[in-house]
Structure 1
């Protein structure tokens, strides 16, 4: 949350600009009409002779928000009504950008308008609309001034206004002083809302926190609402030492001791918040409160169902606390067997080994004390039979075997049926334990399960009406969906060409963005479609437009910049040409969901340009060429038809389609340094992408595309840009996915050996592109499998499975790339094991083994054992046991023959036995996989 921060000032406030700077040293003021308005020395107040309304308007035009309440004082109702009409006119002028110079004056006028309107409006609904308007609220807006401007109003009116404002989260959050003042004046309590509570928390969190909480009669209600919010307030989640007066848990505990807050109710609120779950950051506060409250045994027993739910579903930190609470109750004999069974089933379903093992230990202790509980507890224990860790499976199986004599025949059969979840390596032990009760599995041959090949989807045609276009442009997340963005951009261009006036009017009404008038707003970013809309309204500096078209994002310094620069160059070009005859529609709009263009469709578009006597816009045509599918079956026919057009664009398209590799790139890695502090130790600092020399690209494409022709110096590409347009990188090169993959490698490397997250979205496009696959694509997938973040690894797993389903996965190549990445320490074995296990359990055991079989030889023969390799061997063994693969792996026998009981040795023996004996499985038919 960002709340008001008292004492902040614009940098211009001390520059002698003629406006009161908050120091009381006002000087001459220039109004919007260019007339000087005098200020009284030492006070900065308006003294020019004239009516009260004129003085008020002069003060507002000068941006003197602090003077407005005093200027409102002498006005009667008629004067205020007359002033309001002119204030609305001034507000419209400010929104239209008339008062945008100097830049800081517009915001000061908005603040003054905000206060003046509050004093001139008489209806609560109208006042709420004015005070809640986004175009009037700035960080300078002072709620206390608006409260002073309101004057003494009827208490019911004040409560009504407060209630209306409280319902608007942004308004309530940033105008807490105003709302609180209205509450105090009215004597009525405001129904708590998220915005009001956030503003309340922000403003009272200081060294007098306890006193402020004690003084506010609404504290119990507001605290309850804060604990019920979906996102725990940011002030609650801040790390503050317990001894600090700003420490919320300590403050609430003090109020509990004083009787201001009810202990039982607060405990219920905190436990309920833990039960709802969510990210750990949202749960630390209620967990700390529960610990500070130190619930008695009776209070814990009352909430047993809640603790069971928390242990099953909460994040590990919170679940561990709930497990400890229930364990203490069980040790005291206060936890019913049925509740323990329910808890056990929930905890054993989790993946955290620490929690699972602790639960098995707890159940073992209870059964040792109460053997008669076996019939109810052992079925819950079988939940661990499906655990990914075979040692956990073994432990659960031994626990069941130890207490199996205590159960009846029906429970015994139930346990035997659940044994089918065990890994094949535990099959002999299960047979020995259950005997004839264990059903024999059918000897059906193994069949690899892969996802269906993704279908190519056509992009819907662009909007044909202004109303539909506006609806698309205001859609949330438009920038994150590149194909939807391209479709909306094309619709904007087409409709502006057809009826520019109608589109301009719709844009003015829908996007009242005063920022577009500022000289430097588009200096560093295009802000997506905003630069195009500003160009349509004629608000762009011509020099800046020319620079944007020529340079995109400026001189190329990294792959982030050049990829994003392609989109920026196109947007500047569209902003320059939109609504003119030079741009009737876009050539580069994708026809397929991958961002690619059908060759014959591009020919038809060029034909339409020829018939209209229009030359293609350079950046638009360059992007269209990069998107056209050269691997499409219709490519030769399209090349012939393009050449027959008789235009320059047609001839360029024909030559492009006939070229085998009009753009190309290769990847190499610099040697790794010995010093870990050296830049050459990090993977991201050793990746070098070499672009092939392509004179045609440099000569025929505009400058922002020249890097594809070999102008970008081949050096390691670490940078510190935060690129919010990475979703648009894949559609830049949908027909050359190996080149695209090479461009993405430095970004993906940051997710492997750094702490970057969430940058693997392009892997989906790489897998679904349907064009040739080379080393860079396999490297990109390998990087993805080793990412820090689990969601990033999951996207890489999806990419592997899609490539396999299309028959495009080179398992040997992927395995070899992973092998050296793991050997040098760039990819951590535990992360790779997690990704491989995720892929295997979908039914792709053969695919996973084919990759691991190519990866393992180099790692098994390493002089020093690779730390964490045991987890990878466990996944490999499980895959072999299930798919029935046979064979030998270099170095495996030596490791498996060694002494010791470490996971590395145990899993090596398991893998060796599985490869030699098939783990007691019937011979299977394996999927045909490239090795």
Structure 2
């Protein structure tokens, strides 16, 4: 390489170091292939320096240098594959203004090369979304077809959306291909989903309708794409755009008939609002006599399998009208109607049975037998009517003793040892260490501490390679407020933390008015900051608090052995690490007595603390043996007490009294002292974002009641707003150790009444696991539910949904035990709670299935009243089932699957 070329390379490198991206294309132009290859070697070395934090000042230097590297690398890399790797790297995705410069730096590459690079970048969504100008330039330069990928299309929609949207779409030759792709995407680009709002000119559906009317877009193709997208399904938010487009297009009768199979599939499987539209379309076709009977039968089977009462009842009404007009269709339609025999709503079952009975004479013997066989799906309420209708054709089933079916008791899972090599550790950190899965998090954290103790330099180098774009070198202020997972410890390995900052967070305790979930998160943060300050030193050879069980608990003898290793190494346990280890030790384990003796024999202060912890009867504060060193009680403020809120939601009235434990307050670090009663007994409603839910369970795996008490304010708030995920810790709560008291029961009760269906499902699972373990106080849970429903805190329809879900797993007896304790509270008032009919329907189904008998206070008076509302009908049904059960001598048992 000549002096001139070498001088050119130096100028290029100087511009990159100065962050002058705009100068790079011109400096690249005179360089030949050899010079560019030499420059590339030095550019890679400079990139490694930026990664290592050697360009931290001035504050914008790293971003400017990265931008210049982005442009220079584009011009020096010889192959499209290498260029795509460089331009798609996470640590170089910095400034949008550098993307057009990269296009200029690529120079006059041949069309095939440009198309190859465009295709590679377009296939990486995160890159393509933010590199539209670069990709479009490459496509224009190559002359090849547009790559309709999700990333490219999303970038295009952001680029083209402005007040001239219709004109820009009309002028852009890409529009037909990219619009079709956008409408068919699993999740449409955000600009397409915006409502009309104050800028109607930017409303995509309206703009697309104009282009369809002008012929710029093919109407049939747009309609096909939208209907196909509806057919694929997904969350309703992702289907609003294609549904809106179909409605705007107003398909005519012929266009609707051409797509009958699609409408049938949508009616069966799509979310309720979309299925309702498809059902309306098919009803219109059926009313016009243009819907084939076979398609109607297929539609009926699909719709009647759904749970939405409005759709199911509308479908039964449609079939009734068609059969009134075409009696000969009964043989094909009535078997589809029997899908409703298995519906959870007994009224729907009754309507379906009535419809079948009305048209039964029109079918032959074979269809009659098929209908009679399907009648076996009917609940006990309609069994007699089915027998009268089908007579000898109805199969007589042997009556077997009822057996309760409960889920299997979760087996204890042992936590695997930490990673044995640095490579394995780093892979684990990348995959699991930054996740919310508690045990994987703890295992990765312990492995990081162990390996950093042995070879901090090797771990630091591996961390830099694995997390090149973390940006910790330039953003140490990121750690000034709280820990963000294991990353604060990684920053500690790299030596990036201010010691004063570490000490502040390590010794920080919750304020007197701190909410309980903040206090739980404070324990997690204190441990992480403590580990971050000690990692890689002789003071922290490994973590004492790493769980040995999947619940987060530690075997007592294992903790004794860890303390013995600390003693032999001459190391003092870190305060927060030891405190967390004590909270996690399984005090109910059979080895507790032996562990206490061995801990005392260690002759160390930590061993003495473990002994006192395992033998609470010896503690100075006089804790009750077996109750655990910490505790809590839960109560509700009365409505006439002085409250901060006038709405009187349960989250405004819940008070958690943390038991006074002087030893805890004296011996534990500040972040843990609230467990000894440092927080005042006041309502602790929190109004901010809730984080670290998954990690909370491992803070108190041996004190289930206290853990439940800490969850109550958040769980109580979940029944009144639109929060999601509040019940995530309930799975761990059900598997934890410790007694089941009022806090646990209230946690389950609020979980069963959550707004979100997934939250309720997790609460159902927790209830069934406790029942399988023999730890569920069904009567106590029912009593708490009765109070919450009576005061309006838990909505009956949500509770009915949760109870029905639990019952249909086969736990009819368990659910009835809960409802039997709940109903007297709700039947006592002169005006029963609105929506109680749904709860009574579930209760009646449970009693009919499990054969329970007995009396429920207030039920007889309600059932004796007049009326045909669901409440009255279900009250009479429940009363009849209880009386029938009382007259039976049924053998009952339980099965744990």
**2:464 maps to 1:464:** no
What pairs with 1:805-884 in structure 2 (closer than 5 Å)?
Answer: 805-884=772-851
Instruction: Give per-residue Cα distances to partners, 1:572-598, cap 9 Å, x unaligned.
Output: 111122222222211111111111111
Instruction: Give per-residue Cα distances to partners, 1:800-839, cap 9 Å, x unaligned.
Output: 1111111111111100100110011110000000000001
Residue 556 of structure 1 deviates from its aligned partner by 6.7
Equivalent residue number for residue 260 of structure 1: 216
Aligned equivalent of 1:562, options 519, 543, 553: 519
Equivalent residue number for residue 667 of structure 2: 700
Please give the secondary structure, in 1, of the residue aligned with 2:406: coil
Instruction: Give per-residue Cα distances to partners, 1:98-131, cap 9 Å, x unaligned.
Output: 1112322221222232223334444433332222
Please give the secondary structure, in 1, of the residue aligned with 2:68: helix
How far apart, CA to CA, are the structure 1 residues paired with 2:281 and 2:850? 43
Residue 846 of structure 1 deviates from its aligned partner by 0.8
**2:479 maps to 1:522:** yes
Instruction: Give per-residue Cα distances to partners, 1:118-177, cap 9 Å, x unaligned.
Output: 344444333322222211111454322222333444333322222221122111110101
What pairs with 1:138-537 in structure 2 (closer than 5 Å)?
Answer: 138-240=94-196, 244-475=200-431, 478-517=434-473, 518-537=475-494
- Conserved 8 A contact 1:162-1:190: no
Q: Which moved more, 1:150-159 or 1:97-106?
A: 150-159
**2:738 maps to 1:771:** yes
How far apart, CA to CA, are the structure 2 residues paired with 1:79 and 1:520? 40
Residue 922 of structure 1 deviates from its aligned partner by 5.2
Equivalent residue number for residue 603 of structure 2: 646
Please give the secondary structure, in 1, of the residue aligned with 2:56: coil
What pairs with 1:669-688 in structure 2 (closer than 5 Å)?
Answer: 669-672=636-639, 678-679=645-646, 681-688=648-655
How far apart, CA to CA, are the structure 2 residues paired with 1:679 and 1:577? 48
How far apart, CA to CA, are the structure 1 residues paired with 2:514 and 2:644? 24
How far apart, CA to CA, are the structure 2 residues paired with 1:884 and 1:911? 11
Shift in CA distance, 115/673, structure 1 to aligned 2, threshold 3 Å: farther
Residue 337 of structure 1 deviates from its aligned partner by 1.3
How far apart, CA to CA, are the structure 1 residues paired with 2:74 and 2:464? 26
Please give the secondary structure, in 1, of the residue aligned with 2:655: strand
Shift in CA distance, 281/476, structure 1 to aligned 2, threshold 3 Å: farther
- Conserved 8 A contact 2:102-2:134: yes
Equivalent residue number for residue 683 of structure 2: 716
- Conserved 8 A contact 2:750-2:794: yes
- Conserved 8 A contact 1:110-1:138: yes
Equivalent residue number for residue 539 of structure 2: 582
Q: Which moved more, 1:605-614 or 1:114-123?
A: 114-123
How far apart, CA to CA, are the structure 2 residues paired with 1:443 and 1:89? 80
Equivalent residue number for residue 102 of structure 1: 58
How far apart, CA to CA, are the structure 2 residues paired with 1:624 and 1:476? 22
How far apart, CA to CA, are the structure 1 residues paired with 2:399 and 2:683? 54
**2:53 maps to 1:87:** no
**2:890 maps to 1:924:** yes
**2:553 maps to 1:596:** yes
**2:879 maps to 1:912:** yes
Gaps of 5+ in 1: 1-49
- Give the alignment's TM-score, normalised by structure 1: 0.91
Please give the secondary structure, in 2, of the residue aligned with 1:448: strand
Residue 743 of structure 1 deviates from its aligned partner by 0.2
Equivalent residue number for residue 42 of structure 1: none
Equivalent residue number for residue 791 of structure 1: 758
- Conserved 8 A contact 2:228-2:262: yes
Q: Which moved more, 1:216-225 or 1:530-539?
A: 216-225
Instruction: Give per-residue Cα distances to partners, 1:842-901, cap 9 Å, x unaligned.
Output: 111111111111111111111332111111111111111111111111111111111111
RMSD of aligned C-alpha atoms?
Answer: 2.3
Equivalent residue number for residue 592 of structure 2: 635
Instruction: Give per-residue Cα distances to partners, 1:298-344, cap 9 Å, x unaligned.
Output: 22222211111111000011101111111112122222211111110
Aligned equivalent of 1:736, options 679, 699, 703: 703
How far apart, CA to CA, are the structure 2 residues paired with 1:676 and 1:909? 41
- Conserved 8 A contact 2:434-2:485: no
Q: Which moved more, 1:528-537 or 1:183-192?
A: 183-192
- Conserved 8 A contact 1:114-1:141: no
- Conserved 8 A contact 2:74-2:83: yes
How far apart, CA to CA, are the structure 1 residues paired with 2:802 and 2:643? 26
**2:569 maps to 1:612:** yes
Please give the secondary structure, in 2, of the residue aligned with 1:667: strand
Shift in CA distance, 872/109, structure 1 to aligned 2, threshold 3 Å: same
Equivalent residue number for residue 64 of structure 1: 20
Residue 636 of structure 1 deviates from its aligned partner by 1.2
Residue 83 of structure 1 deviates from its aligned partner by 4.5
Equivalent residue number for residue 754 of structure 1: 721
How far apart, CA to CA, are the structure 2 residues paired with 1:58 and 1:599? 62
Instruction: Give per-residue Cα distances to partners, 1:534-573, cap 9 Å, x unaligned.
Output: 1112111111111121116788722121111111111111
- Give the alignment's TM-score, normalised by structure 2: 0.94
How far apart, CA to CA, are the structure 2 residues paired with 1:483 and 1:222? 45
Instruction: Give per-residue Cα distances to partners, 1:589-643, cap 9 Å, x unaligned.
Output: 1111111111111111112222222221111111010001111111111111111
Please give the secondary structure, in 2, of the residue aligned with 1:472: helix
Instruction: Give per-residue Cα distances to partners, 1:172-218, cap 9 Å, x unaligned.
Output: 11010111122122222232211111101111111222222222222
How far apart, CA to CA, are the structure 1 residues paired with 2:573 and 2:642? 53
Residue 55 of structure 1 deviates from its aligned partner by 5.0
- Conserved 8 A contact 1:673-1:681: no
- Conserved 8 A contact 2:434-2:486: no
Please give the secondary structure, in 1, of the residue aligned with 2:657: strand
How far apart, CA to CA, are the structure 2 residues paired with 1:770 and 1:409? 60
Shift in CA distance, 494/553, structure 1 to aligned 2, threshold 3 Å: farther
Gaps of 5+ in 2: 1-5, 617-624
How far apart, CA to CA, are the structure 2 residues paired with 1:636 and 1:525? 38
- Conserved 8 A contact 2:452-2:459: yes
Q: Which moved more, 1:422-431 or 1:868-877?
A: 422-431
How far apart, CA to CA, are the structure 2 residues paired with 1:565 and 1:674? 31
- Conserved 8 A contact 2:432-2:440: no
Instruction: Give per-residue Cα distances to partners, 1:243-287, cap 9 Å, x unaligned.
Output: 822222222222222322222222111111111000001111111
Please give the secondary structure, in 2, of the residue aligned with 1:551: coil
Q: Which moved more, 1:602-611 or 1:362-371?
A: 602-611
- Conserved 8 A contact 1:589-1:624: yes
Please give the secondary structure, in 2, of the residue aligned with 1:666: strand
How far apart, CA to CA, are the structure 1 residues paired with 2:198 and 2:299? 33
Equivalent residue number for residue 800 of structure 1: 767
- Conserved 8 A contact 2:509-2:673: no
Residue 92 of structure 1 deviates from its aligned partner by 2.1
Shift in CA distance, 608/85, structure 1 to aligned 2, threshold 3 Å: closer
Please give the secondary structure, in 1, of the residue aligned with 2:656: strand
How far apart, CA to CA, are the structure 2 residues paired with 1:676 and 1:395? 49
- Conserved 8 A contact 2:509-2:672: no
